[in-house]
Amino acid sequence: MVVNSFIFLAFFVVVFVVYYAPWTSRSITRQNVWLLLTSYFFYGYVDWKTLPLLFCVTLIFFLLGRTIRNAIDKGNTTFSSKMTTVGVILGVGILLYFKYLNFFADSVALFLQSIGIVVSWSSLNIVLPIGVSFFTFKLVSYVIEVHREKISPSKGFLEFAVYISFFPTIMSGPIDRPGAFLPQIRTQHRFDFNLAMEGCQQILWGIFTKMVIADRLAAVTTTAWENPQGQIPFRLIYAAVLSPIQIYADFDGYSNMAIGIGKILGFKITKNFNHPLLARNVADYWRRWHISLTAWITDYVFMPLNIAFRNMGKMGIMLAVTINLVTIGMWHGANWKYALFGLYYSLLYIPLILSDDFGKNKKLKEGRWGLPKAVDFLKMISTYVLVAFGQILFFSPNLSSFGLYVARMFSWQDGFVSPFAGAGTIVWFWMALIIVLEWITRKREFPIQRMSGDYSYHHIRLIVFDLFLAVMITMFGGYGRPGFIYFQF
């Protein structure tokens, strides 16, 4: 059940009507019970066999949180630390078992066979639960935050279960932190027309970027990833150039739909993207890309490592960044290409660390009509090229396919083909459109008073813009395309 499908629309109408019905909306408990039931139905609709896992790990971590807090209250910090360690190991263990066990077993078998030792084991038939990478991070952050005394443990299992299984975010995030989300579950939600309209606009923007931009670009890029040997070199370059826009439009599209659905239900969900296409270096890119994941890894992996390596100076920072980014890479899946993906970005960080630009987030310099000045524009282009090359590694099925892709891309025996040749012309239109709209939406994030002195004029512009999106979705939407890219993670 993907969020841009008609079946989801029917599902959400039922959720909405019952959630704000007088009998339900008068009680926080009733609203939360309804949210939990609908969230479990939504998750079970994909694969009901994984529902027991979701329920069991939710219950275990709920009890762990209470146990850790009771130990702190009694002054038994040693036991509290041990229980927190148990929680972290359990959360990581769930990921290792479901996501990486086959990968490690196959890797060991291949290594042993390469040195002449034949093994007889075969891959296990392990079903990967949808969203496991997302809800396990919620579980782990919960016990860590309770141990650090930044939050109080959930008062009841109901609110904690709603936090873990909240249906707009359980499939592909964003990864909400317990400190920001749990208080919202404890709040009675009344229908807010303005917030709901804002949510509908955000959903519309998400549908547009997914169906009109991402799905249209996927029709061009998919053949390049699947059969690089059968493509002329320019088509491979073409696909690489399109790939950052495709994956951004796809994932940001889902995030905006999830955030918009949350707003309609009265929830504020973590922002997941901050215009990464406008990044001026790779550090700036990762601050803007998949923010909830990057922030999670930074807080729980990078910061402890950075403290541990502080006596090593810049070398320690490089080591911490490398581990951080390889972890982010491997989070995406059990494939060595993801480890290399993280290593690739860590190498790009080295010049920034050596020049002390690693942690700086300099303000964008704008010229006439709000456009970036030449220096910043060139930085954006160079960063985009580096990201595009990294996406070749991300989209390639494996390392050997990546090698074939790159070798074929830089072989020119078939000559040069015009970038505007054939059916590819329309794709350049989509590229230009998303970049222009990306710049426009960056401006829309400012308060209304800063947009225009005429409040009515501002609303007219929003209505016209939303009508434009609706027409584009109707005319050019990629109906019947596969689900979202990040559903596989």
pLDDT for res 433 = 67
Alpha carbons 206 and 212: distance in angstroms, whole number: 10
Cα(146)–Cα(152) distance, rounded to whole angstroms? 6
The predicted pLDDT at position 182 comes to 94
Q: How many CB atoms lie within 10 A of CB 225?
A: 22
Among 156, 210, 145, residue whose Cα is nearest residue 469: 210
Do both 382 and 276 map to the same domain?
A: yes
Residue 299 lies in a domain: no
Is residue 291 situated within a structural domain? no
75 in the Ramachandran plot: left (φ > 0), alpha (ψ -120 to 50) or beta?
A: left
- H or E element: which one contains 175? none
- For the four alpha carbons of 44, 46, 52 and 57, in that order, the dihedral sign comes to negative
Residue at token pair 């249906």: 167
- Whole-prediction pTM: 0.87
Query: What number is the average pLDDT over the span 59-87?
Result: 94
Distance between CA atoms of 376 and 278, rounded to whole angstroms? 9
Length of the chain: 489
Query: Does residue 203 belong to any structural domain of this protein?
Result: yes
Query: Alpha carbon of 322 to those of 89, 305, 445: distances in Å?
Result: 22, 10, 33
Q: At 262, is the secondary structure helix, strand, or coil?
A: helix
Distance of CA 51 to the CA centre of its chain: 22
Helix (H/G/I), strand (E/B), else coil: 366: strand
Provide the domain limits for residue 89.
Answer: 18-190
- Read off the pLDDT of each residue in 23-32 and give the average, rounded to a whole number: 92
Name residues whose C-beta falls within 8 Å of residue 115's C-beta, 6 or more positions apart in sequence: none
Last residue of a domain, which of 157, 190, 223? 190
Pick the more confident residue, 313 or 165. 165
pLDDT band with cut points at 50, 70 and 90 for residue 370: low
Residues 400 and 473 in one domain: yes
Residue pair 438/278 in contact (Cβ under 8 Å)? The answer is yes
Cα–chain center distance at 220:
23
Q: Hey, what long-range contacts does 374-383 have (CB within 8 A, 24 or more apart)?
A: 376/280, 379/280, 379/281, 380/277, 380/278, 380/279, 380/280, 383/279, 383/280, 383/281, 383/282, 383/284, 383/285
∠ CA(134), CA(353), CA(396), 5° rounding? 45
Structure tokens at 270: 């973590």
Residues 45 and 157 occupy one common structural domain: yes
392-440 pLDDT, tens per residue? 999 988 888 888 888 888 876 555 454 444 445 556 666 666 666 666 5
Do both 145 and 204 map to the same domain? Answer: no
| Judgement on whether residues 467 and 380 belong to the same structural domain of the protein | yes
Residue 345 belongs to some domain of the structure: no
461-477 as b/e: b if 16+ CB within 10 A = eeeebbeebeebbeebb
Band of the pLDDT at 173, cuts 50, 70, 90? confident
Q: Domain boundary residue among 156, 190, 224?
A: 190
Q: Tell whether the model's pLDDT for residue 172 goes beyond 60.
A: yes
Name which of 334, 300, 339 is nearest 322 in CA terms.
Answer: 339
Q: Does residue 406 sit in helix, strand or coil?
A: helix
First-to-last alpha carbon distance for the chain, in angstroms, is 16
What tokens were used for 227? 């059969």
What is the rounded average pLDDT of the residues 111-135? 70
Cβ(249)–Cβ(210) below 8 Å: yes
| Tens of pLDDT, residues 85-94 | 999 999 999 9
Residue after which a domain boundary falls, among 190, 215, 244: 190
Cis omega (within 30 of 0) for bond into 174: yes
Q: What is the band of 277 on the pLDDT scale with cuts at 50, 70, 90?
A: confident
For residue 291, give the DSSP letter. H
Residue 252 lies in a domain: yes
Across the chain, what does the average pLDDT equal? Answer: 83
User: Could you tell me if residue 476 is inside a domain?
Assistant: yes
Using alpha carbons, list the distances in angstroms from residue 262 to 20, 195, 252. 14, 10, 15
- Could you please report the per-residue DSSP string of 415-465? ----TT-GGGHHHHHHHHHHHHHHHHHHHHTS-HHHH-S-HHHHHHHHHHH
Whether 297 is in a domain gets the answer no
Closest CA to 151 of 68, 253, 49: 68
Q: Does residue 204 have a pLDDT over 60?
A: yes
Greater confidence, 220 or 190?
A: 190
Per-residue model confidence as pLDDT tens digits over 411-423: 765 554 544 444 4
- Same structural domain, 244 and 102: no
In terms of domains, do 208 and 89 share one?
A: no
Answer whether residue 340 is part of any domain.
no
Find the helix or strand (DSSP H, E) in which 165 lies.
helix 157-165
Do 39 and 163 lie in one domain? The reply is yes
How many domains does the chain divide into? 2
**Are 204 and 173 in the same domain?**
no
Specify the range with the lowest mean pLDDT, choosing from 194-198, 350-354, 472-476: 472-476
Residues 223, 79: one domain? no
Same domain, residue pair 67 and 183: yes
> Residue 453 pLDDT more than 50?
no
Distance (Å, whole) CA 32 – CA 38: 10
On whether both 174 and 212 belong to a single domain, the answer is no
Percent of the chain residues past pLDDT 70, beyond the cut: 80
